[in-house]
Amino acid sequence: MTDTIFVTGLSIHARHGVMEHETEVGQRFVIDLELYTDLSEPARSDRLVDTVSYADVVATTTAAFKNTNYKLLERAAGAVADAILVNFPRIRAVKITVHKPHAPIAAIFDDVGIMLTRSRHP
């Protein structure tokens, strides 16, 4: 059985992109996370130590996403996935969606971004 812990709408200012102004000024990105794990133990115990802390996931995600400037969202999301899988052994897989609401595209659009899924055992 796989259960899901999720965080949606995590807004982070970072300096990712291929254009010079993106790396100088930066912009807002929005991250959605789905963390796949077994929640049967914390559902019985009601103890934080038996699950994954949302606060710790957000801190890990923020650090992994902000600490290095990447050209591609794919790489930035990959860094987040790697950090989550390394720091949270209870997580079997993670799905990350990175929205780039102010992407430098000469068009009117609702949303652009990438979705990436990584697991411990592909």
Each residue's pLDDT tens digit, 43-86: 999 999 999 999 999 999 999 999 999 999 999 999 999 999 99
Please return the burial class of 96, using the count of CB atoms within 10 Å of its CB with bins 0-12, 13-18 and 19+. buried
Count up the domains in the chain and report the number: 1
Note whether residue 20 is domain-resident: no
Question: What pairs with residue 36 in β-bridges?
Answer: 4, 93
> pTM score, two decimals?
0.92
For residue 15, tell me if it sits in a domain: no
Structural domain includes residue 88: yes
Q: Catalytic residue positions? A: 100
Domain that holds residue 102: 52-113
3-class SS of residue 75 = helix
